[in-house]
Structure 1
């Protein structure tokens, strides 16, 4: 055990809490709710999640979302909450040892699905790399420190062996080391390795709390508002002063133990700022349906949600069919109330996918559509993905996947259709198949489940047509 200024206080609080357990059911519920919200909100907020505390509470307790929220942030928060339940369940099963496979499963769980992320190559150039989930990193990772220096984590080649060594270290020290100090050092050693392409901070804090929960300690919360002190303690540990991160974690353990004792004594668990959080939640519950009508911000956020989360997914799925066709064309059309039109056409066979992702944002920026009047006046936006000259067909056929967004004052309508044309007959429309339709208020986003179903429907439709076009 490391001699610190806080360890005796921790031991004293732990003994006092043990005399009061089990807590009354109502007190246990209050404590669990508080710790659940604090941990999910703060751990994700540290990594850039944009949900406010009130939005987090509304999402996790009532399964509702309001305001200008990215779908990816909603999914991330819900997945993290499931991961928290997983470590709580595993902590209760004393016979199950901590393994690398469980850690990889946590990473897979919180990241939801593979995705592309901006990165910097060895020459300092901005590039993109695919983030694989639940697997150790495939490319080196690093972070720029506040002094401008680049801190390199473990190499790709060394990571598997270092993770095995970390699990061995944990099992060797688990019987003898104080649980809070064991959790703190495991967290630090994990961060030093940074074994995954993304999600390392969240996974490290989940495993740290697994160790605490397994030893009947309440989970600790590293507050996003205290991020600077948290990072400072990690950087001091990098210079050989590991006591810095140990003492930092111990202070957070004291907060959690004191909070648990308040609950055990039937005391109020509210902290400074909790009333403001409650007011924020109340506003979102009661006022959201009357304020989030068509506006510059709601239109901008909706367009980018549909483009980033839905249309990009559709484009990547359609790319899988490229070998069946000779030509492709992407067109984005904005129709304004004042009969103004902007048409952005991208042609370059299937290389268009390299530049399609930022197309709508570039079009909006370069054509000054980010002004309040223009954004409010957008009435309709149409994405068209067309492809022609099916290599296996005897007729000259063109097909399109069209996503049409209609923007009204109180709601928006979205529809996806598959149109088929025969070019030999001057582009006569042969058939139209509706893939997806919905009418929503401006708070509602297309869920990941709906997106997956849309991708399946499009793929099945194209497979069917390719088989028939012989």
Structure 2
């Protein structure tokens, strides 16, 4: 059902808008979901829009298709998501926002209030590849979708602790989770801005139990939305067949 839904143009637009709005809002973007929709669907710039906030949401118009492209390429070539593809996702989502888009950090960075140090710059490629390898092992060892979901969520903890870029780590990390949900035919989820405090608390504590509960609740919301779009598409097809 998921892959069929991703071929539904309206669902994909809806998902893109919501991902752009909520993921950037978690990072401080103040644009509303309606304003985000205007930018992504119509290329319209709402009055008094901050230039940075405009590009933060607009970039999702290009990054979601790229994720789907990577999925198809990797599926056809029997490959997995790699570090170069992650850098390319960063380059797109941070376009017009930072000069070193698509490049790993070259100076150390910190997460405010964190009780750990992020990966040193020279260790980022190694740690990131280890994260991907470990996730692949966990996915292959999983007995069901629940265990696969746990592995994907755990990898998000690892990614944020590596913090491979000087900016945009949260956005890229959430995009990577989206990619792995698609790859494993698991319903994706959009962490909403209203859940920012809970989400940040989960990350600080690496609380897998709470993260899984949050993700499962969000998957239910996404699944209901997905089914509505598929039902609308089916209804259109039926009406079209009667007109022939």
Band of TM-score, shorter chain: 0.7 to 0.9
- Checking the alignment, whether the CA contact within 8 Å between 2:52 and 2:97 is kept in structure 1 is no
Q: C-alpha root-mean-square deviation of aligned residues, in Å?
A: 2.4
1:436-451 equivalence runs, <5 A: none
- Checking the alignment, whether the CA contact within 8 Å between 1:142 and 1:150 is kept in structure 2 is no
- Checking the alignment, whether the CA contact within 8 Å between 1:42 and 1:224 is kept in structure 2 is yes
More helix per residue = 2
Deviation at 1:151, TM superposition (A): 4.8
**Which residue of 210, 213, 220 maps to 1:247?**
213
Tell me the SS of whatever aligns to 2:122.
coil
Q: In structure 2, how many angstroms separate the alpha carbons of the residues matched to 1:172 and 1:166?
A: 10
Q: In structure 2, how many angstroms separate the alpha carbons of the residues matched to 1:103 and 1:142?
A: 20
Aligned pair count reads: 225
What does residue 76 of structure 1 align with?
56
What 5-or-longer segments of structure 1 have no aligned partner? 1-16, 116-130, 268-470
What does residue 158 of structure 1 align with?
123
Q: In structure 2, how many angstroms separate the alpha carbons of the residues matched to 1:251 and 1:235?
A: 20
What does residue 88 of structure 2 align with?
105
**Which residue of 95, 100, 108 maps to 1:140?**
108
**Which residue of 31, 48, 63 maps to 2:43?**
63
- Checking the alignment, whether the CA contact within 8 Å between 2:153 and 2:177 is kept in structure 1 is yes
- Which range is displaced more, 213-222 or 200-209? 213-222
Q: In structure 2, how many angstroms separate the alpha carbons of the residues matched to 1:218 and 1:29?
A: 17
Matched, 1:256 2:222: yes
Q: In structure 1, how many angstroms separate the alpha carbons of the residues matched to 2:187 and 2:43?
A: 25
Alignment CA distance shift 1:29-1:152 (3 Å): same
Deviation at 1:224, TM superposition (A): 0.8
Q: In structure 2, how many angstroms separate the alpha carbons of the residues matched to 1:38 and 1:114?
A: 20
What 5-or-longer segments of structure 2 have no aligned partner? 234-244
Q: In structure 2, how many angstroms separate the alpha carbons of the residues matched to 1:114 and 1:224?
A: 21
Q: In structure 2, how many angstroms separate the alpha carbons of the residues matched to 1:193 and 1:251?
A: 27
- Checking the alignment, whether the CA contact within 8 Å between 1:51 and 1:73 is kept in structure 2 is yes
TM superposition score normalised by structure 2 = 0.82
More strand per residue = 1
Q: In structure 1, how many angstroms separate the alpha carbons of the residues matched to 2:116 and 2:122?
A: 17
What does residue 190 of structure 1 align with?
159
Q: In structure 2, how many angstroms separate the alpha carbons of the residues matched to 1:80 and 1:135?
A: 19
1:31-430 equivalence runs, <5 A: 31-93=11-73, 94=75, 95-113=78-96, 115=98, 132-145=100-113, 151-177=116-142, 178=145, 179-237=148-206, 241-266=207-232
Q: In structure 1, how many angstroms separate the alpha carbons of the residues matched to 2:19 and 2:163?
A: 21
Q: In structure 1, how many angstroms separate the alpha carbons of the residues matched to 2:168 and 2:23?
A: 11
Deviation at 1:79, TM superposition (A): 1.7
- Checking the alignment, whether the CA contact within 8 Å between 1:104 and 1:135 is kept in structure 2 is yes
Alignment CA distance shift 1:40-1:114 (3 Å): closer
By relative contact order (CA 8 Å, sep 6+), the higher-ranking structure is 2
Deviation at 1:92, TM superposition (A): 2.8
